[in-house]
């Protein structure tokens, strides 16, 4: 080959080596053998800017040492908050180094499983076969009794492949874990991240047990921080409810303790569910008696609280029909009748007790009067004071009764009997119905002897219930 052709070939090679297309999306740099930056394409600008290096200045020594060591492995280096893998090619005959960069930040986030991570981290293929487990994850693998290449619980891989963002809760030995599974179909694997929630689950179980000793409103107020756990009280206007079962002492004498416990539990559960539904604070159970109040720790206003309390009492009374049937199915022949007293007044409410034990309750003359009204009520009667009546009269239909004298109250108390929601029985036309074995005529505008008629109707309802039970 002539000298002329040799020079021409070398010039073409040099031109090829010096050519770094700016349109290349990956970083490309040209560095002298001493590590001085000669050239950087547009994609590489952020690299030398992050390092604070300009053209004509030296690049980090680690990069140059890696290049001159002629390693075939890339060198990963931090570039700002990114990670870039650098491949260096030394061109000794021309005295420079070509450096090619690849951003591997995303890949590292996907594939890097640091063994020092205290939480379990596992990796499976898309079918759920285990590929990798870090140190913490290896304990999970052993508990599952699987080896690398074997299937993890199918519920985890199914959640990942289904795109679910919700964690899978599984018990592993004596612990409970939440497993977040993330499918990476581009690389044909699933990342599984575990979190030990055993302590949290134990706390939930403990709190669930404690919740049974509090009214839901009190429990919620304590754990939301609205109600401090210390001795403190305040004066508030409350509507207080008392109820008990007529003749309960006679019932207890006839029943075995196990049967009695079952019956009273059914009754109190049904009544409590109704109280909670209407927003009442269940204060206490005293045998078969129930005390509920409205207005603290949450209130909807004096009037709304009173209406809610009376509506609760009406629903409790209505629910007795179902409970009676249940009792009769167990061989309890005695009727289930309740008495209810309701009064609205300013009471002292809050935490009472000692530094070691507190009772959230309410006390005062208003509470005593509600209790006295309950004692004065007839079976299945809801007896309320005038203070409550004035708050509910636009919503609830009541009948004015006589004033009564109650213990420890100096003045006579005007009472009212709750009949139902407003309009129920008011302005109604007469009833005149006849059918096979059944006839009923009632003219509300002319009927007399209401109590006698009520007793007859109650007997008729009891007979219908017996007929209904017989058909079941």
Domain membership of residue 218 (yes or no) is no
* Residues 235 and 312 occupy one common structural domain: yes
Nearest partner of 64 among 75, 51, 72, judged by Cα: 75
Q: Each residue of 47-86: pLDDT tens digit?
A: 878 888 888 999 888 888 888 887 778 888 888 878 888 8
Structure confidence at residue 423 as a pLDDT band (50, 70, 90):
low
Domain that holds residue 448: 430-472
Evaluate if residue 445 carries a pLDDT over 80. Answer: no
Q: Which pLDDT does position 438 carry in this prediction?
A: 77
Instruction: Decide which of 442 and 228 is more confident.
Output: 442
Q: Each residue of 295-323: pLDDT tens digit?
A: 988 899 999 999 999 999 999 999 888 88
Instruction: Decide which of 22 and 334 is more confident.
Output: 334
* Residues 130 and 195 occupy one common structural domain: yes
* Residues 446 and 323 occupy one common structural domain: no
Q: CB-based contacts of 248: which residues, under 8 Å, 6+ apart?
A: 287, 288
Q: Which pLDDT does position 213 carry in this prediction?
A: 63
Domain membership of residue 212 (yes or no) is no
The pair of three-digit structure tokens given for residue 136, joined into one six-digit string: 């913490």
Q: Which pLDDT does position 17 carry in this prediction?
A: 46
Q: Which pLDDT does position 351 carry in this prediction?
A: 82
Domain membership of residue 222 (yes or no) is no
Instruction: Decide which of 136 and 206 is more confident.
Output: 136
**Of 33-42, 54-63, 324-333, 403-412, minimum mean pLDDT range:** 324-333
Q: Which pLDDT does position 462 carry in this prediction?
A: 77
At residue 364, the 3 state secondary structure works out as coil
* Residues 420 and 331 occupy one common structural domain: yes
* Total structural domains within the chain: 4
* Residues 316 and 461 occupy one common structural domain: no
Q: Which pLDDT does position 114 carry in this prediction?
A: 54
* Residues 419 and 326 occupy one common structural domain: yes
* Residues 327 and 411 occupy one common structural domain: yes
Q: Which pLDDT does position 247 carry in this prediction?
A: 81
* Residues 136 and 85 occupy one common structural domain: no
- The residue to which tokens 């304990």 are assigned: 139
Give me the mean pLDDT over the 128-151 stretch: 92
Q: Are 66 and 87 spatial neighbours (Cβ–Cβ below 8 Å)?
A: no
Percent over 90 (pLDDT), the chain: 30
Last residue of one domain, picked from the residues 80, 108, 136: 108
* Residues 245 and 361 occupy one common structural domain: yes
* Residues 308 and 241 occupy one common structural domain: yes
Give me the mean pLDDT over the 90-107 stretch: 81
What's the CATH code of the domain at 121? 3.30.450.20
pLDDT, mean over the chain: 82
What's the CATH code of the domain at 336? 3.30.70.1230
Give the DSSP per-residue string, 290-349: EEEEESSSS-S-HHHHHHHHHHHHHHHHHHHHHHHHHHHHTT--S---EEEEEEEEEEEE
Domain membership of residue 302 (yes or no) is yes
Q: Which of 149-153, 190-194, 222-226, 328-332 has the highest mean pLDDT?
A: 149-153
* Residues 236 and 339 occupy one common structural domain: yes
Domain membership of residue 329 (yes or no) is yes
d(CA 196, CA 394): 56
What is the C-alpha end-to-end distance of the chain, expressed in Å? Answer: 114
């Amino acid at each position: 080959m002539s000298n002329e052709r040799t020079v021409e070939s070398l010039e073409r090679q040099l031109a090829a080596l010096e050519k770094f297309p700016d349109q290349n999306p990956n970083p490309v740099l040209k560095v002298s053998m001493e590590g001085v930056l000669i050239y950087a394409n547009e994609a590489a600008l952020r690299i030398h800017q992050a390092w604070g290096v300009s053209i004509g200045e030296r690049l980090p020594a680690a990069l140059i040492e890696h290049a001159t060591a002629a390693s075939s492995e890339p060198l990963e280096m931090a570039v700002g908050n990114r990670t870039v893998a650098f491949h260096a090619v030394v061109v000794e005959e021309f005295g420079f180094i070509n450096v090619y960069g690849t951003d591997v930040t995303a890949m590292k986030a996907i594939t890097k499983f640091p063994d020092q991570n205290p939480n379990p981290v596992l990796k499976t293929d898309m079918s759920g076969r285990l590929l990798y487990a870090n140190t913490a994850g290896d304990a999970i693998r052993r508990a599952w009794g699987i080896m690398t290449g074997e299937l993890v619980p199918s519920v985890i891989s199914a959640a990942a492949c289904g795109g679910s963002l919700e964690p899978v809760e599984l018990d592993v030995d004596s612990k409970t874990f939440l497993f977040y599974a993330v499918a990476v179909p581009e690389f044909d694997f699933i990342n599984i991240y575990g979190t030990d929630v055993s302590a949290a689950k134990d706390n939930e179980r403990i709190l669930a047990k404690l919740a049974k000793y509090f009214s839901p409103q009190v429990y919620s107020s304590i754990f939301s921080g609205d109600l401090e756990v210390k001795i403190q009280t305040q004066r508030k206007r409350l509507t207080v409810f008392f109820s008990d079962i007529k003749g309960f002492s006679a019932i207890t004498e006839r029943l075995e303790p196990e049967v009695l416990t079952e019956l009273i539990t059914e009754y109190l559960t049904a009544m409590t569910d109704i109280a909670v539904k209407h927003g009442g604070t269940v204060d206490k159970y005293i045998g078969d008696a129930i005390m509920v109040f409205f207005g603290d720790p949450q209130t909807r206003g004096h009037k709304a609280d009173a209406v809610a309390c009376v509506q609760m009492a009406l629903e409790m009374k209505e629910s007795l029909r179902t409970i009676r049937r249940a009792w009769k199915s167990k061989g309890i022949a005695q009727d289930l009748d309740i008495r209810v007293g309701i009064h609205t007044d300013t009471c002292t409410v809050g935490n009472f007790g000692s530094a070691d034990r507190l009772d959230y309750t309410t006390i005062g003359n208003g509470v005593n009067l509600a209790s006295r009204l309950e004692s004065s009520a007839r079976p299945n009667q809801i007896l309320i004071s005038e203070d409550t009546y004035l708050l509910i009269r636009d919503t609830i239909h009541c009948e004015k009764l006589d004033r009564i004298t109650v213990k420890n109250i100096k003045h006579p108390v005007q009472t009212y009997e709750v009949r139902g929601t407003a309009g129920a029985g008011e302005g109604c036309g007469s009833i005149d119905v006849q059918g096979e074995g059944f006839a009923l005529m009632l003219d509300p505008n002319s009927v007399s002897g209401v109590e006698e008629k009520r007793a007859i109707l109650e007997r008729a309802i009891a007979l219908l219930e017996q007929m209904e039970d017989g058909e079941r």
